[in-house]
Chains A and B, each alone.
Chain A
């Protein structure tokens, strides 16, 4: 990514249905959002532009899906979009109250060797439900940037936008080793996942 100041980077927003993905999308992109039809299907998706620093991103709101083994037409499109954009950054959106579901698709995406960043959305609802998510620890385990957001109030959106450039390819081997305590948590200063992107 030597010419990253010029080339537009595609960001795919992937996540379960109803995790506030669209609200997050609306927050991040301006008024220039465009609804288009995915070629060869009837499934529509929304795309928009985000300019952060000197980098222009094309953000694509991928139809919600529970896994990369699709159940219906919309999920098939999600799978195809990921396959068709191997160089894209994948922003995986979690519902803070349903972390396990988000983690499942996150792992599936990570297995594809894509650049990943995680947004743990709906933090306000989680707070109301007395669920707390340790995003710093999540970042440490996954080895990709993890940002807590609340799309409805706009909390965490700036940070999320800034972190896109630090997206990492996750290493499943290392994730498992970290879980087993085989790799000591290194470079955990300042909630950094030791990604080396900074």
Chain B
């Protein structure tokens, strides 16, 4: 027997009336806090404070405490010298591939599979990812996320999304792969496409952030500003250009509750596990591939070919071609590589922005392909336009300001 929607609701009401009783309820502190954090006057300052806290914990824990305080020392003064002393024949190809520069005194510059590859993935990226997912899970499980979604809804509505798009956005700051999956909470194809494209282009992942913190700590704010500007600008354009509907937000705002430790641990572990499985092999393989391409002279040839575009249009040195190729495998890797190219501050800044926007890493690429090849092709088309326009725009602004 199948009921019509109306009669189904009628049955629901009759059952509920019969089985559920409501007592008099007294508002608790949690309810008051819940309301305060969703009302704009009090909620927006709290949201800003929460995001700022999120960011500073991320920086101080991942950047300062674990990476600088422990990992750098471990890798630079123990692992690297030891490897350099035991690996035979510094002039050989395998030394170049696995250990890298025999004269390097830190793991960023050595650029071998076992030096930079391991250091970037374990020493820099892992702590960043770990702390990021811990905080994300707490935000999620405490019930704060929906409130944040309500507060940012009006802004995101302008670019064709709605407040709940904050979930893939924040997830994307961890890793784009789960973020692309999370776009499914948006209702229409148009919204999912806009979100995916913007994710792939403008949201730097946790791995990248970790490396940026290490390599260009004082420029990170400026890079972010550029990315946010681009996010809004191109989001607005995409919303105007792409046909389709933008349904509005319609969500529960659940009461606050304390996250349960087992659930937080379990979620965090699952997320970190899938990161380790996907990212670490890619980083190692990426270093290997780039080194082999160097040995084969491919990178030098590409650099020569793209030199006019890079130097005249984007205003960055031709050596950045190598990192850009590595960037397809892992963007964190690419930024680590950039750090050893001699550049002016402006060039450094421009190339970091370029790497952030220019291409999704291969894991993101694959997951986007799963969403549909048409969407992927369209996203790539958008991407090329954006890189070209935005890269040129930043260069132009740089020239106007006299820094390029």
Contact = CB atoms under 8 A, between A and B. Distances in A.
Do A and B truly interact?
A: yes
Interface of A: 17-18, 22-23, 26, 35, 42-44, 71-74, 99-100, 103-104, 107-108, 111, 125, 128-135, 137-138, 141-142, 152, 171-173, 175-176, 179
B23 A138 contact: no
Contacts of A130: 22-25
Nearest to B21: A132
A26 B141 CA distance: 15
Contacts of B382: none
A189 B262 CA distance: 38
A175 B18 CA distance: 13
B266 A26 contact: yes
A141 B266 CA distance: 37
Interface in B63-91: none
Contacts of A71: 187
B12 A72 contact: no
Contacts of B8: 104, 107-108
Interface string B243-255: 0000000001011
Contacts of A175: 11, 15
A72 B23 contact: no
A138 B2 contact: no
Interface string B217-257: 00000000000000000000000000000000000101101
Contacts of A128: 28
User: Which of A22, A71, A107, A135: most chain B Cβ within 10 A?
Assistant: A107
Most chain A CB within a 10 A radius of its CB, from B9, B184, B263, B367: B184
B41 interface: no
21 contacts: A23-B263, A42-B367, A43-B184, A72-B184, A99-B20, A100-B12, A103-B15, A111-B1, A111-B2, A128-B28, A130-B23, A131-B20, A133-B19, A134-B20, A135-B19, A138-B15, A173-B1, A175-B11, A175-B15, A179-B14, A179-B15
Interface string B370-383: 11000000000000
By secondary structure, the B interface counts as helix
B18 A137 contact: yes
Contacts of B28: 128
Given A99-B20, A103-B15, A131-B23, 5 more contacts: A35-B270, A42-B370, A107-B8, A125-B257, A135-B19
Given A35-B270, A42-B180, A44-B181, A131 B22 contact: yes
Given A42-B371, A138-B19, A179-B14, A22 B263 contact: yes
Contacts of A133: 19-20
Nearest to B180: A42
Interface of B: 1-3, 8-9, 11-16, 18-25, 28, 180-181, 184-187, 192, 252, 254-255, 257, 260, 262-263, 266, 270, 274, 367, 370-371
A103 B16 contact: yes
Contact of A104 (B12, B14, B18): B12
- Overall SS of chain A's interface: helix
B23 A132 contact: yes
B34 to A, nearest CB: 13
Contact of B16 (A42, A99, A176): A99
A104 B16 CA distance: 10
B262 to A, nearest CB: 7
A149 to B, nearest CB: 14
Contacts of B187: 71-72
A22 to B, nearest CB: 7
| Ranked 8 nearest A-B pairs via Cβ | A130-B23, A73-B184, A172-B1, A103-B12, A134-B19, A138-B19, A130-B25, A132-B21
B263 A26 contact: yes
A135 B24 CA distance: 20
Contacts of A135: 19
B18 A141 contact: yes
Given A99-B20, A130-B23, A176-B11, A107 B3 contact: yes
A18 B252 contact: yes
A171 B14 CA distance: 16
Contacts of B1: 111, 171-173
Contact of B12 (A22, A107, A111, A129): A107
A173 B185 CA distance: 35
Given A42-B371, A104-B8, A74 B184 contact: yes
B11 A72 contact: no
Contact of B9 (A73, A104, A111): A104
B22 A179 contact: no
